[in-house]
Structure 1
Amino acid sequence: MATQCKLACAVVLLGMVAFAPYAEAGVSCSTVYGDLMPCLGYIMGSGKQVPAACCSGINSLYNAAATTADRQAVCSCIKSAAKGVSLDVNRAAGVLSKCGVSVSYKISADMDCSKVE
């Protein structure tokens, strides 16, 4: 189960790092992992379409991360979970757009969460 959480977070890092664990942030890592779990299969290469539950989770997380601190907290949660996990980077990078979510910065595995606004 912990590995699945790590993989789900890694998925969103590359496709959704608009969001991570500072004390003042209102979005917890458990929320991030729960919202992104439905994306795991797709990011790992299963299926040709992003599941509706994945997009629902992404949109829920996107809406929950209303402040800069929230978005930085989400980013940090995802980066922490992504360490040492291999995934389909191309699929992960495309999840946001396939779910109709856009962010104003480039998503990458090495992005600096402190610069997320």
Structure 2
Amino acid sequence: MAGFKNDAKIAINVLLIACLLVMSQPRVVSALTCDELVPYLWPCMTYVEGTGPLTDSCCKGVKDLNDKTKNSQDRRAVCNCLKKAASCNSVAKSKIVSGIPSKCGINIPYTISSSTDCSKVK
């Protein structure tokens, strides 16, 4: 039974990462692509899944990603990736994800949600 639970967790992780990887925006020319977000956000996975605490490494990844978005175009690209990833998750997980920046003390210029209008991100 424990093996089944671990297999299910692995499958969920793979699905979440796959959602991030296949969501590139070919019409948006940016230094950042959806697949480049994975290393920054991977430390947050156990927290999002409810299997671990919000860690310093998760907050560092979110901060580093936020710092890397130097212009509106980058911020919109990241917003679009996160928006699409949020649409792949349950409502409960989406609420957990959207709360991470504020819990880490990081101010991002949009809400992580499947309904965010990323075109308005400055």
For residues 1-117 of structure 1, the aligned pairs below 5 Å read: 2-6=14-18, 21=25, 22-23=28-29, 25-47=30-52, 49-86=53-90, 87-117=92-122
Distance in 2 of aligned mates of 1:43 and 1:94: 10
Amino acid paired to 1:111: T
Partner SS state of residue 62, structure 1 = helix
Query: Relative to 1, partners in 2 of residues 1:82 and 1:30: Cα closer, same or farther, differing over 3 Å?
Result: same
Q: String of CA shifts for 1:25-46, please: whole Å, max 9, x gaps.
A: 1112111122111111101212
- SS of the residue corresponding to residue 63 of structure 1 reads helix
Q: Deviations over 1:40-67 (max 9, x none)?
A: 11012123x3112111110110001010
CA distance in 2, matches of 1:46, 1:63: 27
TM (norm. structure 2) is 0.71
CA offset at residue 104 of structure 1?
A: 4.1
Question: Structure 1 58/91 Cα, relative in aligned 2: closer, same or farther at 3 Å?
Answer: same
**Percent identity (aligned):** 33
The root-mean-square deviation of aligned C-alpha atoms, in Å, is 2.3
The AA in structure 1 aligned to 2:64 is S
Contact 2:40 2:61 in 1 (8 A): yes
Q: Shift in Å at residue 98 of structure 1?
A: 1.6
- Name stretches of at least 5 consecutive residues in structure 1 with no aligned partner: 10-19
TM-score normalised by the chain length of structure 1: 0.74
Q: Rg: which structure is higher? A: 2
Measured in 2, the distance between the counterparts of 1:81 and 1:91 equals 13
Q: How many residue pairs are counted as aligned between the two chains?
A: 104
* Runs of 5+ consecutive residues of structure 2 not aligned to the other structure: 1-12
Higher relative contact order (CA 8 A, sep 6+): 1
Distance between the aligned counterparts of 2:14 and 2:58, measured in 1? 18
